[in-house]
Amino acid sequence: MSKNGCWCHHSDPCGLCCVVFTYMLLCFADYVVDHALLYPWLGDTASYQLLKLSFFAISVLAMVSHCRTMLTDPGAVPLEYQPNTLLANEAANKMAMCSRCNGFKPPRAHHCSQCDRCIVKMDHHCPWVNNCVGINNQKHFVLFTFYTATLSLYAIILLIARAVYTAADGHPARAHGSRFTQRARGDAAIEGGGRFVLMAFLFFEALLFGLFTLAMLTEQLSSIITDQTGIERLKHDYVAPSRSWLHNLSETFGRPFSLLWLLPTAVKYNGLTWYDLLPQECEV
């Protein structure tokens, strides 16, 4: 797993199962919202197209953010890492060594037993993304939890709106022209009770995973703003300097501030990556 290579942790069956399950849940939500919720309710109208496309767009952002979190090097210390002279002097030649990596361990790096590497600013190893969350992919993880929580809230709002409309109108769905009728006949497998069951499953999925991802999002933002990872809070081995919350956010999302903070793009610090900023004397 080099600087230019693709990072992929493939030795954890639990993590791989969680990844597959995550994508299954996202695809299930897309299917139910389109086939069981929106189209039977609104038909082939502009409102249907707008709601469907916006829901799918958030779903795609969640999937891409998850994929980037999973396949991005979280900040693994290069095995050939050597501290430069300035850093060595500042540390009084007492920079920590990792007995498992058999190399130097930079400040704020911790060893992950699952990844079997030291990770800079490691927050935790998450089975849902089958990867560590560290300096180089925490942005993607935060975006994944944000877009998943947003998607869950969106699904709940649509389900409630559909229920209110059905109760007020007295009909489970209203036909909007022949195209709706033709598709409704083709979707006979999810008519009536089957459609209700699918929407019930979607409601519980959105409620449970919405609360779960919202809790993770809140915890991650708290860690970023206070500049203290989950492991650092447990070990009490790092005291965060007094800096603004915007400065701490830029340490995770990149500098300078831009709309790219909302997209799962590579984290850059005025054009440099964390590899460029890591003091070292060798090529990686």
| Catalytic machinery residues | 126
Query: Could you tell me if 96 and 178 are in contact, meaning their C-beta atoms sit under 8 angstroms apart?
Result: no
Interatomic CA distance for residues 128 and 10, integer angstroms: 13
CA-based torsion, 250, 235, 242, 279: positive or negative: negative
Q: Which of 85, 216, 94, 99 is nearest to 149 (CA)?
A: 216
CA dist 121 and 107 (Å) reads 9
DSSP letter at 260?
G
Torsion 258-261-265-269 (CA) sign? positive
Strand partners, 112: 117
Tokens 């002097």, residue located: 89
Helix axes of 13-31 and 193-226: crossing angle, nearest 10 degrees: 120
Element (H, E) at 171: none
Q: In which region does residue 176 sit, left (phi positive, over 0), alpha (psi from -120 to 50) or beta (all else)?
A: beta
DSSP-derived letter for residue 42 is H
